[in-house]
Amino acid sequence: MPKFALILSDSHWKWLNKNSNSLRTKSAIIRDLIESEMRSLDTEVTLPAYRVGAGKELSKEERKKLLLEEINQPSPQKIFPPQSGLGDGIGREREGTPRKPPFEKTIPEKLKKHKKTILEFFAKKPGEHNKNAWNRLINGLTGIYDLDGDVAVLKQLEQGTTEGWRNIGVANYKKFGKEKPKFQEPEAKHPAYKVFSAKDGFGEPTSNPVLKELF
């Protein structure tokens, strides 16, 4: 069986190491990839424009020659076709999936005076920092503003930043953050405040008709 030296890129070598083992050696994987490509070249195919020019069909010998060139000098735009069980990344373009641009953090007009504090809370909070998390925060702050105004919004943001809250919502604000009215104890009156009268004595006038008859 002929032997030859094979030059691989760093990424190809890492992939080959990762997907080989004692039962499936590196040589076996490379042979399988070559055989698979040869089978595909035996059919009527048109190679991509970046290799041979748009729409040009090659002979069987020319396609095999290009295959050997690809093995020894990999193109930056193409890798071998996917093989079952050889890894999820096989067959993907080297460019990869482009990253999505960061979402726009929109703040309604009524909350814009708190923009700096809102951004600080969102940057420091634990948990998710995606668009859904941002919308939940803005909806919660808008609800709190509609209930109790700017002071309540600012207080919740400052407390949430200090204590590491994951979010600020209306339900939790109503349950834990909203100030409850203070209990007002009845005014203590001195006994001397009562005025004696023939009808009521020292007691306060009553509105109960039954008690009125007794007096």
Query: Tell me: the pLDDT tens digits for 147-183?
Result: 999 999 999 999 999 999 999 999 999 988 776 665 5
User: What is the Cα–Cα distance from 109 to 115, expressed in whole angstroms?
Assistant: 10
User: Across-strand partners of 197?
Assistant: 201
**Averaged pLDDT for residues 1-16:** 83
Q: Please give the single-letter amino acid code of residue 62.
A: E
Q: Higher model confidence: residue 21 or residue 207?
A: 21
Among 26-35, 127-136, 195-204, the minimum mean pLDDT is found in 195-204
**pTM higher than 0.95:** no
Q: Which residue has the tokens 């919004």?
A: 153
**Averaged pLDDT for residues 84-103:** 56
Closest CA to 103 of 128, 121, 127: 128
Q: Higher model confidence: residue 89 or residue 25?
A: 25
**Averaged pLDDT for residues 44-58:** 52
**Averaged pLDDT for residues 57-80:** 64
State the CB neighbour count (10 A cutoff) for residue 144.
Answer: 26
**Averaged pLDDT for residues 14-36:** 85
Average pLDDT over the chain, rounded to an integer: 74
Closest CA to 26 of 35, 13, 10: 13
User: What is the Cα–Cα distance from 26 to 29, expressed in whole angstroms?
Assistant: 5
Q: Higher model confidence: residue 43 or residue 175?
A: 175
User: What's the residue count for the chain?
Assistant: 215
**Averaged pLDDT for residues 101-128:** 92
Indicate left, alpha or beta for 58 from its phi (over 0: left) and psi (-120 to 50: alpha).
beta
User: What is the Cα–Cα distance from 100 to 10, expressed in whole angstroms?
Assistant: 27
Q: Write the burial class of residue 141 (CB in 10 Å: 0-12 exposed, 13-18 middle, 19+ buried).
A: buried
Within 13 Å of residue 134, how many CA atoms lie on the same side as its CB? Answer: 14
**Averaged pLDDT for residues 120-134:** 93
Q: Higher model confidence: residue 85 or residue 180?
A: 180
Contact 137, 168 (CB under 8 A): yes
pLDDT higher than threshold 60 for residue 199: no
